[in-house]
Structure 1
Amino acid sequence: MIPRLRSLFDPFIIALLCTVVLASLLPARGQWAGVAEGAADAGIVLLFFLHGAKLSREAIWQGARNWRVQIATLLVTFGVFPLLGLGFSALPLLSAPLAAGLLFLTLLPSTVQSSIAFTAIARGNVAAAVCAASFSNLVGIFLTPLLVALLMGATTGGISLASVEAIVLQLLLPFIIGHLLRPWIGGFVTRHKSILSLVDRGSILLVVYSAFGAAVVEGIWHRVSVDDLLLLTLICLLLLGLVLGLTAALGRVLNLPRGDAAVLLFCGSKKSLASGVPMAGVLFPAAQVGMVLLPVMLFHQLQLIACALIAGRMGRRALAAEGLEPGPHIRQ
C-alpha cells in the first residue's frame, strides 16, 4: 500500500477514532469511572515498562557518536517546537484548554516507529534514526514534565508533590525497571514485537477512553465547536509546515549528508502520541486531559500523511540518483 493510504487507513488511527466515539457515547460514570481510571493508570505503567525494555544500550551509545544529528534533533524537538508552541498558543484564536493542548503538543518527544519507517522509505540513515528517536523519547521522560512545569504552570496548577510522585511511579520507575530487565526479557520483546505492539497500543486506547470519557462528562463537546476544530487543524498544519521547512533548512546549514538530513527532517518534525497520551494522563487533571489530547491526536494524523508523501518523494529521487527502479513500497 502506498504511504499516503497506509497513513490514512492505519488500523490504530481508526481504533483511536472509534475509542473517542465510544467515550463520547458511553463514557464511564460513577464507580466505573474509577475502574476506567485505574485501568488507564495500569496501562501507563505497562506502556513505559515496555518502552524501557525495548530501548537497547547499543542504540544509546551509537546515538552519542553521531552527535551533530542527535543535538540538532533534540534542539528542534525541545527548543524550536516549544518556542513555536508558545507563539501559537498565545494567539487569541483558540479557547484556553485547546491552546494548552497545542502548547503541550510542542513539548513532547519525537515518535519512534514512524520516524524510523519514513527515514527508511526516504533511503536515509536508518541506524541514526533509531538512535535519534530513542534518544528523544529517553530525554522526553525527564524533560517534557519539566517543560510542562516551566511553561504551563498556570494551566496545570503547577507540578505538585502528587504529580511528581505520579511521574516517578508511573513513568520513570517502570521505564528504568524495564530497561534493567532487558538482558533477561530483551529476547522475548524482540521475538514478540507484534503482540507487544498490541499491548502497547491497547494501553494508549485505555488512557484515551478514560480521558475522553471524563471530558465528555464535563461537557467537552459543548465547549468545542466545528469552527474550533477547523481552526485547530489549520494551526496544526501551519505548525507542521514551519517545522518541516526549518528542519530541511537546518540540514542544509549544517551540511549534513543526505541520509542524516532525512533523520533530522523526520525525527525532528514529529511528536509522539504514544508518549503524549500517558504523560497527559499523569500531568493534567482527568477532566482536562481530553481537551489537551485533541491537538496531539490531530497533529499526529497530519504528520503521518505529510511525512508519508515527503518520504515517498525523497525515496524516488534517491533511487533515481542511484539509477535504480523504485520498489512497490516507494512507487506511488
Structure 2
Amino acid sequence: MAPKKLLPDAFTLSLLGTVALASILPVHGPFVASFNLLTNIAVGLLFFLHGAKLSREAIVAGATHWRLHITVLLSTFAVFPLVGLLLKPIMSPLVTAQLYTGVLFLCTLPSTVPSSIAFTSIARGNVSAAVCSASASSLLGIFITPALVGLLLTNNSGSGVSPWHTVWNIVLQLLVPFIAGQLLRPVIGTWVDRNKSTLKFVDQGSILLVVYGAFSEALMEGLWHRIPLAALAGVLVVCTVILCTSLLITILASRCLRFNREDQITIVFCGSKKSLAAGIPMANVIFSASSVGAVVLPLMLFHQIQLMVCSALAQRWASRWKDNERQSLREVV
C-alpha cells in the first residue's frame, strides 16, 4: 500500500482540527443554547438531503437481492454487537468505562453509504446491491440503533443513556427530515444530484458542528483529565481488532453461503463498515451532553482505520480482477 494511503483523509484532519479548536476555544455560557439550535438545524438538513439524494430506482434495482441484504444487516446489527460484548474481557482493561460505552455504541451503528458503495465499485462488486443494502442499513439504523443501545447500555454505569425515551427524539430530528427529503425528491432531486459535490459540505459541516459542541461540553466536564493516554492507545487496538474480526467474518460467511464474487465484495464492504455521518448525530441525541465527547472518540478512530484498511483491500481485489481479465484475454488470443 502506498504511503499516502496511510495518511488521514481531509475530513479526518478536519475532525482532528475541530477537536483541537474545541479544546482551546470551547463554546460556553450564553452561546451554548444558540449553538445547540444551530447544530440541530444542521443535523435536520443533513438527513433531509440524505432523503432527497436516495434514488428510488437504485432501491428497486437492488431490493430483490434479499439474501445479500439479510446477510449485511445481520453482520451490521447482530454480529458487531456480539463481537463488542464477547470481547469485553479483553477490551475493558484497555479502555475507560466511557470509552467502552463508545465502542459498544459503535457496534450498534448502521453501515456507511458513500464509502461502502465507492469501495464496492473499485473492487468490481455488485454496486446496485451495495446502494440498496447500505441505504437500507442507514434507514433501519434510525430505529435499530437506539433499541440496541437500550439493550446493551442501559445498565452500563456512566453511559448517560435514555434510549427508549430518545427514540421519539430520533424520529423527530432524523427520520422526519429524511422522509421530507424523500417526498420532495421529485421536485428537488435533479438539483440535489447536480450539486452533490457542493452539498457534501453540508454533510461534513453538520458533523463538525456536532463534534465541536460535544468536545466543548466534554472539555468543560474535564474529558482529557478523565481519559489517560494509555486508554486512547487501547481504543486504537480495540477498533482495529473489531474491524479485522468483522472483515474476517463477512469474508468467510459470504463464501460459506456461496455468493458469487461480486456479491461477496458487496457483503464485505457493506457489512464491515460503520457510519460516522449517522453515528455522531445519533450520539448527540441518545447520550447526555457531558458524555458525547468520549462516546464518539472510538467512532472517529474506527472511521479512519476502516477507510485505510478497506481502501487497501478494494485496490487489491481490483488489481486481482484486472490480472484475471488479462489472463482470460491471453487465453482467448
Q: TM-score, normalised by structure 2?
A: 0.93
Q: Is the 8 A contact 1:7 1:304 kept in 2?
A: no
Note the aligned Cα RMSD (angstroms).
1.7
Mark the CA change 1:110 to 1:7 in structure 2 (over 3 Å): closer, same or farther: farther
Q: How does 1:171-186 map to 2 (within 5 A)?
A: 171-186=174-189
Distance 2:60 2:145 in 1: 22
Aligned equivalents of 1:54, 1:156: Cα separation in 2: 33
Alignment of 1:162-311 (within 5 A): 163-311=166-314
Deviations 1:137-187 (A, max 9, x none): 1111121111112222233443354x2332121011111111111111111
For structure 2, the residue ranges without an aligned partner over 5 or more in a row are 328-333
Identity of aligned residues (%): 51
Match of 2:331 in 1: none
- Deviation at 1:58? 2.0
Q: Which structure 1 residue ranges, 5 or more long, are not aligned? A: 325-332
> 2: CA distance between counterparts of 1:68 and 1:165?
31
User: Relative to 1, partners in 2 of residues 1:157 and 1:193: Cα closer, same or farther, differing over 3 Å?
Assistant: closer
Relative distance call for 1:3 and 1:156 in structure 2 (3 A) is farther
C-alpha distance in structure 2 between counterparts of 1:224 and 1:158, whole Å = 23
Q: Structure 1 residues 10, 80: CA separation in 2 closer, same or farther (over 3 Å shift)?
A: same
Contact residue 53 and residue 186 of structure 1 kept, 8 A: yes
Pair 1:6–1:32, CA change in 2 (3 A): farther
The verdict on how the C-alpha distance between 1:259 and 1:271 changes in structure 2, with shifts beyond 3 A counting, is same
Alignment pair present for 1:29 and 2:33: no
Task: Specify whether residues 277 and 254 from structure 1 end up closer, same or farther in structure 2 by C-alpha distance, changes over 3 A only.
Answer: same
Q: Please tell me whether the aligned partners of residues 122 and 314 of structure 1 are also in contact (alpha carbons under 8 angstroms).
A: yes
**2:106 and 2:279 in contact (8 A); partners too:** yes
Query: Against the structure 1 CA distance between its residues 245 and 31, is the aligned structure 2 distance closer, same or farther, given a 3 Å change threshold?
Result: same
Cα 1:133/1:7, change in 2 over 3 Å: farther
Work out the CA distance in 1 between the residues paired with 2:101 and 2:135. 26
Shift in Å at residue 59 of structure 1?
2.5
- Alignment partner, residue 79 of structure 2: 80
Structure 2 counterpart of 1:306, one-letter code = V
Please name the residue that 1:45 is paired with.
Answer: 44
Aligned residues between the structures: 323
1:124 aligns to what SS in structure 2? coil
**TM-score, structure 1 as length reference:** 0.93
Kept in 1, the 8 Å contact 2:162–2:286? The answer is no
Contact persistence 1:4–1:308 (CA under 8 A): no
